[in-house]
Chain A
Amino acid sequence: MTEDTKDIQLRRELALLGEEPADDSELVAAERLAARMEGALHVVDAEGDEAAGLAELLAAAGLGSRGASGKGEEATLRALDSIFSKEEGDTPDVSDGADELERRRAHLLAQGVDGLIAGLATPPLTSDQEDLLHVTALIRASVHCAHLSPARLESLVESAFGAKTTSSPPVRRAWMGRVAMAAVLALLLLGSGLLVGSQLQVRTREARPGPIPTRLTSRSTRDILPGAFPRSQTAAERIDIIYHDRLRSFRELSLGGASAPAPGRQP
């Protein structure tokens, strides 16, 4: 583009904007600004030195890098984005700067990092923010030296050994488990056998008659049934009476003990 063509275009633009035609000093200043900005971008493109390029850009725009506020900050962010977006495909929309949503997310992450540094709970975060907070935790843990206290180490060693004693490899555990179960069953069987045996012994001892009272010893029919047979009594009836007497004695001995005289029994 020739100088004349540029001049014509500039005049046309200014006329459209209703601005006064530019004088020579203004044109020189504009040329300088354009050159500085072009140079700044050249630094970014050719040398990859974004910081130097940014400094040039901000200086050219009259913003400076410090003390910017309000619109200046927005411009700073936009300027940053415009440069960074050359490399960062994932940065937010560069033309809009930081929207309200991004500011909110940034604030939450900042609070999360505050909590991380102070060792406090972090605010509820989305999974992506959690992921970002995790990244900050990784950075901190990598550059700072967090030590494990000797007491905590001792506790971990003990629990590792403790866990070892209670958990063995699966095959071995199964084998040991079967043996242990068999041993327990055997002990239970032995115990119950002993218990039953001892109970039987007690019962036998309890059931064993002491000296049998005379009233229950073998005796002749005549002893318990003295006197002549009544005439009306038949032999069968008399045998029934004797049988009843012996049965009663047997029951007293085997079931009810033999210490007390049977009710209604004649000594």
Chain B
Amino acid sequence: MSGPVPDDEAGLALEREQIQRAQAGDRDALRPILGRFGPVLYSGVILPRLGNEADAEDVLKDTMMATIERIQTFRFKGRSIYYWMRQIAMNKIIDVHRRRQRGERLVAALTVEAAADPAPSERADEAVIFAEERRINRERITRTLEAINPRYAEAIRLRLVEELPRRDCATRMGVSVGTFDVLFFRSVKSFRKKFLEE
């Protein structure tokens, strides 16, 4: 685990001062914190675990509201408040999946992820945190793609990572569009199975 770098120390000091003001009753002091970490939570944590932008915005708003309401309970432990907010967001994501009855295995997987410490770093810089979140997300997907058949993985890469049209995907894989559809259909089923086993 890397310790805070000088820039982060300044950032943490500012963050701490803003939190103290908020805890003293000036809740508007939280605005800069929400503005800094809101986009990171949205793009790096919530959307990759919900997949739906409208749901992700709702969860982000709920996370912000919870942060404002519970700021009195936050205790500064030398790391950014981001990780506290992230935990709140993860719990709300699990709530959404439970409500939508997405399946016990997905909820269980998220619960395990939420319980684990997500941050190997104590950085307070939102760009660094975001890069770390992206790495975590890509790793989750890559790990699953590596666990399924390479041809299935290729179908998913072409269609969802490169976002090629079906015709181009089919050409790249040397099959007709209809066959590619079937191949992709099976690919996603295979991915889901492995993803939930992770």
Same complex origin of A and B: yes
CB-CB under 8 A for A152 and B189, given A107-B181, A160-B68? no
Q: Does B92 contact A (CB under 8 A)?
A: no
CB-CB under 8 A for A102 and B185, given A148-B38, A156-B57? yes
Within 8 A of B (CB), among A65-105: 65-69, 73, 76-77, 80, 83-84, 87-88, 90-92, 98, 102-103, 105
CB distance from A126 to the nearest CB of B (A): 13
Pick from A31-39, A128-136, A235-243 the stretch touching chain B: A128-136
CB-CB under 8 A for A90 and B189, given A136-B160, A164-B68? yes
A134, B101: Cα distance in complex, Å: 12
In the complex, which residues of chain A have a beta carbon less than 8 angstroms from the beta carbon of B190?
A: 84, 88, 90-91
A68, B178: Cα distance in complex, Å: 13
CB-CB under 8 A for A164 and B161, given A68-B174, A91-B189, A106-B182? no
In the complex, which residues of chain A have a beta carbon less than 8 angstroms from the beta carbon of B21?
A: none
In the complex, which residues of chain B have a beta carbon less than 8 angstroms from the beta carbon of A139?
A: 141, 156, 160-161, 191
CB distance from A178 to the nearest CB of B (A): 21
Q: Does B11 contact A (CB under 8 A)?
A: no
Choose one: A67, A84, A137, A146; the contact of B174 (CB below 8 Å): A67
Contact A109 B51 (CB under 8 A): no
In the complex, which residues of chain B have a beta carbon less than 8 angstroms from the beta carbon of A80?
A: 149, 151, 183
In the complex, which residues of chain A have a beta carbon less than 8 angstroms from the beta carbon of B34?
A: 157, 160
Contact B60 A143 (CB under 8 A): no
Q: Does B107 contact A (CB under 8 A)?
A: no
Within 8 A of A (CB), among B148-176: 148-152, 156, 159-161, 163, 166, 174-176
Contact A103 B182 (CB under 8 A): yes
Q: Does B188 contact A (CB under 8 A)?
A: yes
CB distance from A143 to the nearest CB of B (A): 5
Contact B150 A50 (CB under 8 A): yes
In the complex, which residues of chain A have a beta carbon less than 8 angstroms from the beta carbon of B160?
A: 113, 136, 139-140, 143
16 contacts between A and B (CB under 8 A): A50-B150, A51-B150, A77-B179, A80-B151, A84-B151, A91-B189, A110-B181, A110-B185, A132-B188, A135-B195, A136-B159, A140-B160, A148-B42, A153-B35, A161-B68, A164-B65
The contact size tier of chain A is: 35 or more
Q: Does B140 contact A (CB under 8 A)?
A: yes
Q: Does A54 contact B (CB under 8 A)?
A: yes
Contact B51 A141 (CB under 8 A): yes
A142, B156: Cα distance in complex, Å: 13
**Majority secondary structure, B binding face:** helix
Contact A50 B39 (CB under 8 A): no
Residue of A nearest to B164 (CB): A117
Residues of B within 8 A of A (CB): 27-28, 31, 34-35, 38-39, 42-43, 47-53, 57, 60-61, 64-65, 67-69, 102-103, 134, 137-138, 140-141, 148-152, 156, 159-161, 163, 166, 174-176, 178-179, 181-186, 188-193, 195
- Count: A-B pairs, CB below 8 Å: 169
Contact B27 A161 (CB under 8 A): yes
CB distance from B68 to the nearest CB of A (A): 5
In the complex, which residues of chain B have a beta carbon less than 8 angstroms from the beta carbon of A141?
A: 47-48, 50-51
CB-CB under 8 A for A106 and B185, given A138-B48, A148-B39? yes
Within 8 A of B (CB), among A193-247: none
Q: Does A159 contact B (CB under 8 A)?
A: yes
CB distance from B88 to the nearest CB of A (A): 12
CB-CB under 8 A for A68 and B43, given A92-B186, A102-B185? no
Contact A135 B192 (CB under 8 A): yes
Contact A157 B51 (CB under 8 A): no
Contact A152 B43 (CB under 8 A): no
A80, B173: Cα distance in complex, Å: 13
A117, B160: Cα distance in complex, Å: 8
